[in-house]
A and B are shown apart, each in its own frame.
Chain A
């Protein structure tokens, strides 16, 4: 069966510090990968999606970037965090061939102070 791992689960970072959130998917190959952000009490905002290694599409211009160095690895980064980057970040995946069902990881709580 497929599983998705995301880490760290929580982190508190000062303004201006870098960020790296990592996500890996097991049990499938060539998945579509996503990063979402969920602000407190808000909906799900798609930040980035990737259909293959090195292929990244950005949905919202922002202070963040994403990379996909391996087929099942997706990384969310920032060089300098802003207070507004605080939120709940969710990595997700879907199978290339079976349509739109998206499976989410457990999420990472980021607080920028």
Chain B
């Protein structure tokens, strides 16, 4: 019940395309859903996060869509650029407890 399932495992899009990464969870106690971006050889960095009281959050070209009833959330990258090529992790956590469960990651390649 602590799992966060992430798909696809890898994704190739052309510059300007809109890659979409999907995540699903089972534990209804989760109330915090961050996305992390990781470049090769570096630690993951927080990209954007959402709480279940909103259905969408945008920060620049990155948008999280959240469907509480389906227990799913997704990351959209608008006008993708080669510099967005990285591994993206979704995650889920519960308030008041410090552990966060991560998805297995999606390796995104944006080709010029």
Q: Is B89 a contact partner of A106 (Cβ separation < 8 A)?
A: no
- Report the contact-size class of chain A (Cβ under 8 Å from the partner): 20 to 34
Closest to A92 in B: B43
Closest to B43 in A: A104
B31 CB, min distance to chain A CBs, angstroms: 9
Does any Cβ of A come within 8 Å of B63's Cβ?
Answer: no
Binds A, one of B66-74, B78-86, B99-107: B99-107
* A100 to B91 Cα, complex, angstroms: 10
Q: A43-B104, A44-B89 are in contact. Are A100 and B46 (CB under 8 A)?
A: no
Does any Cβ of B come within 8 Å of A76's Cβ?
Answer: no
Q: Is B102 a contact partner of A100 (Cβ separation < 8 A)?
A: no
Q: Is B103 a contact partner of A43 (Cβ separation < 8 A)?
A: yes
* A92 to B100 Cα, complex, angstroms: 12
User: Which residues does B use to contact A, with CB under 8 Å?
Assistant: 32, 34, 36, 41-46, 49, 89, 93-95, 97-100, 102-105, 107
